[in-house]
Structure 1
């Protein structure tokens, strides 16, 4: 019995090819010192405060803008299959990792469910990220649905950073 279909109404799916082996792409998500080198919007720095990369483990981090504005975020890992799949919940948080509202919207879903999968062919890894609101109200679902384009743009910027990171490593 799959539990995924509970979450996946209104999902956003983003896919990107990287010229890197999948074990390296996986490490970019699973090792704090790698993750903080590319995660987040362009021009922001990312600092991982702690990362326990295990099912039910957490990652607490903050991103900081050039003018020193800090935004905290949290991942809670669910299923992990090395070099293949990472399922996690993510949210905006306070510095203690407690869930908070997104700073930009009163109706943004508090948490998102994410399924990241990796497939490698001839040295090219296809990363597919499925994102869906988790335990969201109708209003939150609607806001998420209206913002797919913004999210695609945001992830394009973040994945550009991942691509640069992978080329150098």
Structure 2
């Protein structure tokens, strides 16, 4: 059995629009991340091997940096990337909320369209985790799932405005 978090969400929008909202900085800044947090894009190079570097900050806390490295992009149906917590230069650091969160996760997003609605499936799994990282990932599944669900709810809302 693989260690993963799987989230599925159906949007009342065509696949091309959902894909754009997932991949273009001017859209992402309007819905990505926890509600009420500020979101800033530092680098956006959307291509295999390209890097997406951003920061997010709660109203009452410290800034967190995250880096994606894109592996595979099939427009408008699939995005595969690895994700790391980082510093503002993009150097990998431990997760600020838990030192035992996996250093690297593999994220696979697929989009399927049916009757004008788009179903997004996202699978997140740790890359080469230690035993401790596996435990942390397993115990954090529910929290992470709730986070993704909330974020996709914000995307739902945003899609009605564009």
Q: Same fold (TM over 0.5)?
A: yes
State how far apart, in whole Å, the 2-side matches of 1:39 and 1:90 are: 15
Instruction: Give aligned pairs, total.
Output: 162
State how far apart, in whole Å, the 1-side matches of 2:139 and 2:158 are: 31
Q: Which residue of 2 aligns with 1:125?
A: 118
Moved over 4 A (4+): none
Deviation (angstroms), 1:68: 5.7
State how far apart, in whole Å, the 1-side matches of 2:13 and 2:38 are: 23
CA-based RMSD of the aligned residues comes to 1.1
Q: Which residue of 1 aligns with 2:19?
A: 26
Q: Which moved more, 1:76-85 or 1:23-32?
A: 23-32
Give the TM-score, by structure 2 length: 0.96
Deviation (angstroms), 1:27: 0.6
State how far apart, in whole Å, the 1-side matches of 2:13 and 2:141 are: 27
Give the TM-score, by structure 1 length: 0.93
Q: Which residue of 2 aligns with 1:4?
A: none
Q: Which residue of 2 aligns with 1:100?
A: 93
Instruction: State the secondary structure of the residue aligned to 1:168.
Output: coil
Deviation (angstroms), 1:33: 1.0
Q: In structure 2, list runs of 5 or more residues that go unmatched.
A: none
Q: In structure 1, list runs of 5 or more residues that go unmatched.
A: 1-7
User: CA 1:68–1:150 in structure 2 vs 1: closer, same or farther (change >3 Å)?
Assistant: closer
Alignment of 1:1-169 (within 5 A): 9-67=2-60, 69-169=62-162
State how far apart, in whole Å, the 2-side matches of 1:163 and 1:44 are: 18
Instruction: State the secondary structure of the residue aligned to 1:125.
Output: strand
Q: Which moved more, 1:35-44 or 1:61-70?
A: 61-70
**Deviations 1:38-59, CA, capped at 9 Å, x for gaps:** 1110111211111000001000
